[in-house]
């Protein structure tokens, strides 16, 4: 039952659209219809200001971190926690509260892996931030993060989480397919600009 209940709970928590709630409450803006039309922290920062983007980022991170951390107190099996990780991530991507149309789940992904492997996530996040600082593109940093997570999971000895790390890499690349296309064509906007 744990393999069913905890992923479902993680999915429900992951479905809470914090970016949308913040943008509509404090800025009277619907991020689904403006900017990049994404409910994530980057678009909220573009539309409402950095402070609101940071708030969305932290809350999206926590909705991945909290269910995985709590689940680990019941069962620390990598297989079990991998299902919980995927539950939270799919909650953000396919939220039950928004007709299953959500965001890209980068912050939620970071939160889930922080709960099971701090150092691999820390190194992956540091590399992500470095790429964003150098390129000016959050999407490029996000793709770097996606590639780095399974690598650092392996290098830090967290072998049981490497398979889910690789699966999440594929999920994040799929969610960023439009960004990849724009990056390839040189049309991706820097993170502080709204998408046209």
Look at the chain and report how many structural domains it folds into: 1
- Asked whether 136 and 173 are in contact (CB, 8 A), the reply is no
Q: Looking at the domain assignment, is residue 175 inside a domain?
A: yes
pLDDT, one tens digit per residue, over 58-73 is: 999 999 999 999 999 9
Predicted local confidence at residue 3, as pLDDT: 84
State both tokens at 104. Answer: 């890209």
Region for residue 29 given its phi and psi (left: phi exceeds 0; alpha: psi -120 to 50; beta: otherwise): beta
Q: Looking at the domain assignment, is residue 113 inside a domain?
A: yes
User: What's the CA gap between 178 and 192, in Å, rounded?
Assistant: 18
Whole-model pTM: value is 0.92
pLDDT, one tens digit per residue, over 123-145 is: 999 999 999 999 989 999 999 99
Q: Looking at the domain assignment, is residue 100 inside a domain?
A: yes
pLDDT, one tens digit per residue, over 6-15 is: 999 999 999 9
Predicted local confidence at residue 192, as pLDDT: 57
Residue 194 reports pLDDT greater than 70: no
Q: Looking at the domain assignment, is residue 129 inside a domain?
A: yes
Q: Which of 45, 10, 46 is nearest to 164 (CA)?
A: 10
Q: How many CB atoms lie within 10 A of CB 37?
A: 12
195 band by pLDDT with thresholds 50, 70 and 90: very low
Q: What is the DSSP string of 42-64?
A: HHHHHHH-HHHHHHHHHHHHHHH
Domain containing 57: what range?
A: 2-185
User: What's the CA gap between 56 and 45, in Å, rounded?
Assistant: 9
Q: Looking at the domain assignment, is residue 172 inside a domain?
A: yes
77 band by pLDDT with thresholds 50, 70 and 90: very high
Q: Looking at the domain assignment, is residue 192 inside a domain?
A: no
Q: Looking at the domain assignment, is residue 190 inside a domain?
A: no
Q: Looking at the domain assignment, is residue 195 inside a domain?
A: no
- CA 124 to chain CA centroid, nearest Å: 13
- Asked whether 112 and 142 are in contact (CB, 8 A), the reply is no
């Amino acid at each position: 039952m744990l393999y069913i209940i905890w992923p479902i709970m993680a999915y429900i928590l992951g479905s809470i659209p914090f970016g949308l709630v913040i943008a509509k409450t404090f800025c009277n803006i619907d991020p689904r219809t403006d900017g990049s039309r994404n409910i994530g922290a980057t678009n909220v920062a573009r539309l409402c200001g950095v402070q609101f983007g940071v708030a969305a980022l932290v809350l999206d991170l926590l909705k991945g971190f909290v269910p995985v951390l709590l689940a680990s107190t019941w069962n620390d099996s990598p297989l079990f926690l991998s299902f919980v990780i995927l539950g939270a991530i799919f909650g953000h991507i396919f939220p039950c509260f928004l007709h299953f149309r959500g965001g890209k789940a980068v912050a939620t992904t970071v939160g889930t892996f922080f709960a099971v492997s701090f150092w691999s996530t820390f190194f992956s996040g540091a590399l992500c931030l470095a790429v964003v600082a150098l390129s000016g593109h959050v999407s490029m940093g996000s793709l770097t993060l996606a590639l780095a997570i399974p690598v650092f999971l392996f290098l830090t000895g967290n072998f049981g989480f490497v398979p889910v790390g690789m699966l999440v890499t594929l999920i994040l690349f799929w969610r960023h397919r439009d960004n990849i296309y724009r990056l390839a064509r040189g049309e991706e906007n820097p993170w502080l600009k709204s998408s046209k």
